[in-house]
Amino acid sequence: MPRIMGQAKISSEKLLIDRLSPARMTPYLQAAGSPREAIKLYRWNLEASAVLYEALHVFEVVLRNAIHEQMTQWHQAQGQAGTWLTNPPSQLTSRSKDDLRAARGRAADALAYKHSKSGTATPSPTDDDIVAQLSLGFWRYMLATRYTHDLWHDAIRYAFPALKQGRLSEIETPVIRLHGLRNRIAHLEPIFTRQLMWDLRDMKAAIGYICPRTQAWFASTRTQSFKDVVRTSPLSKQPGTRQTAGNP
């Protein structure tokens, strides 16, 4: 009972900061200036992260499907057995091959669990099953400059037909930034210092290089939600501060 009474004397904001951890809340306190405003900023950060994550979901799915399609066609044209996911090309790094091996294992485990419930025989993972198990980091490294003179030139560049002059750096750079953004959101890190409209621009650019019509659909469904969340940032209401500070 004394413990409960002691907690009752603590302000709601202080209690929340303790529960969320002072270390986690320090950037919010420094930016917002008070516990009450820090809690508002933390809540806004959650809402902004949700908006970004929805958009990143579309970006990631479109990106991986485009690369997978071209790698599949290239692998078949080479007359290789299996698929590029089950029989990876020699040009891939050992890390990428390890990622593929792990993704195949996760896909097999997921199918085994699913079919153990129904008592039916477990099929082998399809390419779609394996692709679904690969992280954005895997696809980001498929665009690494080390592949400029082989996989990019022979296969991957065709995933981006609207890319001017077929320069790898034009797609690699925004994908690197978006990969970093996704990691920050996945690890519940602050994103309130980011220029969110720049993040949207990166997503639209990457999707546009793949398919301008898909980009138009993406922009029509995502742009307003980005504008709304930027407009409601607590930092935008503080004199001398802006939510639209540069990307970290």
pLDDT digit string, tens, across residues 53-71? 999 999 999 999 999 999 9
Predicted local distance difference test score (pLDDT) of residue 149: 84
Cβ neighbours of residue 32 under 8 Å, at least 6 residues apart?
38, 40, 41, 234, 235, 238
What distance in Å separates the CA atoms of residue 129 and residue 132, rounded to the nearest whole number? 5
Structure token pair of residue 68: 């997978």
Tens digits of per-residue pLDDT, 161-200? 999 888 899 999 999 999 999 999 999 999 999 999 999 9
The predicted pLDDT at position 118 comes to 82
At 1 the pLDDT is 45
| Residues near 115 by beta carbon (within 8 Å), at least 6 away in sequence | 121, 122, 123
Confidence band (pLDDT; 50, 70, 90) for 8? low
The Cβ of residue 56 has, within 10 Å, a number of other Cβ atoms equal to 20
Residues 32, 234 contacting (CB under 8 angstroms): yes
Give the tens place of pLDDT for each residue, 207-245. Answer: 999 999 999 999 999 999 999 999 999 998 654 444 443
**What is the 8-class DSSP label of residue 167?**
-
Q: What is the rounded CA–CA span in Å between residue 86 and residue 155?
A: 17
pLDDT band (50, 70, 90) for residue 248? very low
Predicted structure pTM score: 0.88
Nearest by Cα to 69 from 215, 211, 212: 211
Whole-angstrom distance, CA of residue 214 vs CA of residue 38: 38
**pLDDT in the model for residue 27:** 96
**pLDDT of 132 over the 50 cut:** yes
Place 7 in a pLDDT band, splitting at 50, 70 and 90: low
C-alpha distance from residue 20 to each of 15, 26, 134, 232 (Å)? 9, 10, 31, 23
What tokens does 212 get?
């301008």
